[in-house]
Amino acid sequence: MTQAAPRSAILGTGSAVPATVVTNDDLAKIVDTSDEWITTRTGIKERRVLEGDKAASDLARLASERALEDAGLDVADLDAIIVGTCTADYQFPSLACVLEAKLGARDVFSFDVNAACSGFLNALSVSDMFIRSGRVRNALVVGSDVLSRFLDWQDRSTCILFGDGAGAAVVGVSDDDDRGILSSRLQTDGSYAETLYIRAGGSKKPATQETVENREHSIFMNGKEVFKVAVRSMEEISRRVLDDAELCVDDVSLVVPHQANRRIITALAARLSIPMEKVIVNVHKYGNTSAASIPVALDEVRREGRIADGDIVLLNAFGAGFAWGAAVIRF
């Protein structure tokens, strides 16, 4: 008799954001913008910016320790650490390896996935595969990004959008077959690689004095194109993961979308016909924290008691690549 593959579930969550708050009015002092413009176009009121002596691994560590505590597990219980990030401490080794050492983990394997804003969903989906294969019992899944270090603070079209943060989830074998990650899907379209990217600093264009002078080490983005494809792609993939789980939109208790922009989120909710009361928005507080946005929001709603046993939660994300994904979880 073949045994059914175990289902994976989120056993605990944690998050961490820097203490330093940068408001829209603060930004209006350094670029030609206003609180009114930023609020109307994005819904963002303020964001957190990491202090100079810290890195993505410091936020990741705090979020991870909180997630382990929430799960009632010790670092020794982990088999794997998977981090979604595009702003690791170093080009290499991975942020996951740096985090492993900071947490004092032993006998684990650790690696990063770089899917930009979809990093956490990619890491979560990979952890689900490892757990269902029986290879891993407990994985620490983290999204941590410090995009403030990769912004051109003279470019008003991008510097207003992003903030720093980290979120983590302990993902382990579900003790109830009906609960856990019911379905997940990932997708990419690399033909959009240069629609949202950092031009220099990689193997194609290593850092030189000229690349620094040309400000090529910060985010370049065609915002309108991102907006259009993001809404369409997140709608499609959300419908597909719900189909996979044999659920419909009305079954969803809560949507925790990537927090890029309030307008993207409301457009997505409208296309899915999901009322905004069921959609989590915290972009006004943190801006777009890339791979951290979903786990930070998920941690906040769990701690606020907004997720009850049996609730169906839909996660969806979109980012550079383009890379996007979605997951359906029954808590």
Give the interface segment with ligand ACO, choosing from 129-137, 206-214, 217-225, 294-302 (CB under 6 A).
217-225
The pairing of strands 219-221 and 196-198 is antiparallel
How many Cα atoms are found within 13 Å in the side-chain-facing hemisphere of 4?
8
- Does position 29 interact with ligand ACO (CB under 6 A)? The reply is no
Q: What is the DSSP string of 166-203?
A: EEEEEEEE-SSTTSEEEEEEEEE-GGGGGGEEE-SSSS
Q: Mutual orientation of helices 95-103 and 56-71 as an angle, nearest 10°? A: 60
Are β-strands 80-84 and 46-48 bridged in parallel, bridged antiparallel, or unpaired?
unpaired
Alpha-carbon gap, residue 138 to 172, rounded angstroms:
4
Least CB distance to ligand ACO at residue 37 (A)? 4
Contact 192, 225 (CB under 8 A): yes
Q: Which residue has the tokens 């670092």?
A: 75
| Residue 160 CB, nearest approach to ligand ACO (Å) | 5
Closer residue to ligand ACO, CB minimum distance, 8 or 158: 158
At 204, phi and psi to the nearest 5? -70, -40
Cβ-based neighbour number of residue 82 at 10 Å: 26
Q: Is 258 a catalytic residue?
A: yes
Asked if residue 226 binds ligand ACO (CB under 6 A), the reply is yes
If binding is defined by CB under 6 A, does position 85 make contact with ligand ACO? no
First to last CA, the chain: 29
For residue 260, what are its two tokens?
A: 């890029």
The smaller minimum CB distance to ligand ACO, of residues 37 and 331, is found at 37
Task: State the catalytic residue, choosing from 86, 97, 117, 159.
Answer: 117
Per-residue contact flags (x/-) with ligand ACO for residues 117 to 136, judged by CB under 6 A: x-------------------
Q: Which residue, 49 or 103, is less far from ligand ACO as judged by CB?
A: 49
80 near ligand ACO, judged by CB under 6 A = no
Among 29, 106, 204, 224, binds ligand ACO (CB under 6 A): 224
Q: Which of 117, 115, 190 is nearest to 147 (CA)?
A: 117
- Tell me the backbone φ, ψ of residue 284, rounded to 5 degrees: -65, -30
- Report the C-alpha gap between 162 and 211 in whole angstroms: 22
* CB nearer ligand ACO, residue 33 or residue 125: 33
Q: Rule CB under 6 A: which of 304-323 touch ligand ACO?
A: 318-319
Phi (first) and psi of residue 161, to 5 degrees: -90, -30
What is the 8-class DSSP label of residue 135?
S
Q: Which stretch binds ligand ACO (CB under 6 A): 105-113, 173-181, 204-212, 222-230?
A: 222-230
159 is catalytic: no
- Answer for which of 186, 230, 237, 329 binds ligand ACO (CB under 6 A) is 230
Site for ligand ACO in 146-175 (CB under 6 A): 156-157, 160-161
117 is annotated as an active-site residue: yes
Kindly state whether residue 269 participates in binding ligand ACO, applying the rule CB under 6 A: no
Question: Least distance from C-beta 231 to ligand ACO, angstroms?
Answer: 9
Q: Which residues bind ligand ACO (CB under 6 A)?
A: 33, 37-38, 41-42, 117, 156-157, 160-161, 196, 221, 223-224, 226-227, 230, 258, 260-261, 288, 318-319
* Active site members: 117, 258, 288
